[in-house]
Amino acid sequence: MPDVIRHPYNDALRARLGDNLAAFEHRPMQVNGHKRAAVALTIVDCGQGTGALVLTRRSPRLNGHAGQWAIPGGRIDEGETPEQGALRELHEEVGLKLDESAIIGRLDDYASRSGYMITPIVVWAGPGVELVANPDEVASVHRVSFAELDRPNSPEFVYIPESDRPVVRLLVHEQKIHAPTAAMVYQFREVALKRNPIRVDHLEQPVWAWK
């Protein structure tokens, strides 16, 4: 079925995704020495009338995880909720300012090997949004269609000598996206789009992402 039929970007899509997320009992995790962070899984129009997710490539000038695929987000400031932190980071990184009425759900916390406990917040951007990369943090901004996220050959699961957990990676166009981003986007795909209540906290990151 063409993606424009399955996922037209309209109020019905927002309602369906919201219902699927509401039916999912998201699982918070203990911080256990991790720094708190939040990301905004932001749903936009791909430009052709169908749903898409906002992903970025991090600036090559950053000290940590330079050039990697990412979801807009970052550390939660003192006194912020995950929702407030995710929306603030979304505005800072791609110029999209939304209030908490845009939030339609939350997914499981994910502990990164680099020391962050990340809370994914799902956000509906609305029509006609413009995304502008903050050059201090973001090299480029991408609208990845739901059809691309739902490719039959993605995700891939591989094993590495350093861990007994499977490493997850998503295929997007000609690129491979790794965890933590891949794990959270994969859970979004399964829970929000398919109402499939999977967990992803067991999915591993490549060794180069452990720092």
Distance CA(119)–CA(201), nearest Å, equals 12
Residue with tokens 């891939």: 156
Q: pLDDT band at 63, cuts 50/70/90?
A: low
Residue 107: count of CB within 10 angstroms of its CB: 26
What integer is the mean pLDDT of 51-55? 97
Percentages helix, strand, coil for the chain (3-state, rounded to 5) are: 25, 30, 45
Question: Which structural domain range is residue 27 located in?
Answer: 3-150
Sign of CA pseudo-dihedral 183, 41, 190, 8: negative
Looking at the domain assignment, is residue 73 inside a domain? yes
Q: What is the mean pLDDT of the chain?
A: 92
Looking at the domain assignment, is residue 142 inside a domain? yes
Looking at the domain assignment, is residue 187 inside a domain? no
Whether residue 155 has a cis bond before it, omega within 30° of 0: yes
Residue with tokens 């407030």: 84
Residue 142: count of CB within 10 angstroms of its CB: 16
Q: For the segment 10-39, what is each residue's pLDDT rounded down to a tens digit?
A: 999 999 999 999 999 999 988 888 999 999
- What is the token pair recorded at 95? 């110029």
Looking at the domain assignment, is residue 165 inside a domain? no
Looking at the domain assignment, is residue 52 inside a domain? yes
- Provide the pLDDT for residue 59: 73
- Provide the pLDDT for residue 1: 45
- Cα distances (angstroms) measured from residue 63 to each of 114, 132, 136, 193, 211: 13, 22, 11, 34, 11
Looking at the domain assignment, is residue 130 inside a domain? yes
Q: For the segment 70-115, what is each residue's pLDDT rounded down to a tens digit?
A: 999 999 999 999 999 999 999 999 999 999 999 999 999 999 999 9
pLDDT beyond 90 at 180: yes
Give the residue with greater pLDDT, 67 vs 95: 95
Reported residue count of the chain is 211
What integer is the mean pLDDT of 164-183? 95
Whichever domain contains 87, its CATH number is 3.90.79.10
Instruction: Count structural domains, the chain.
Output: 1
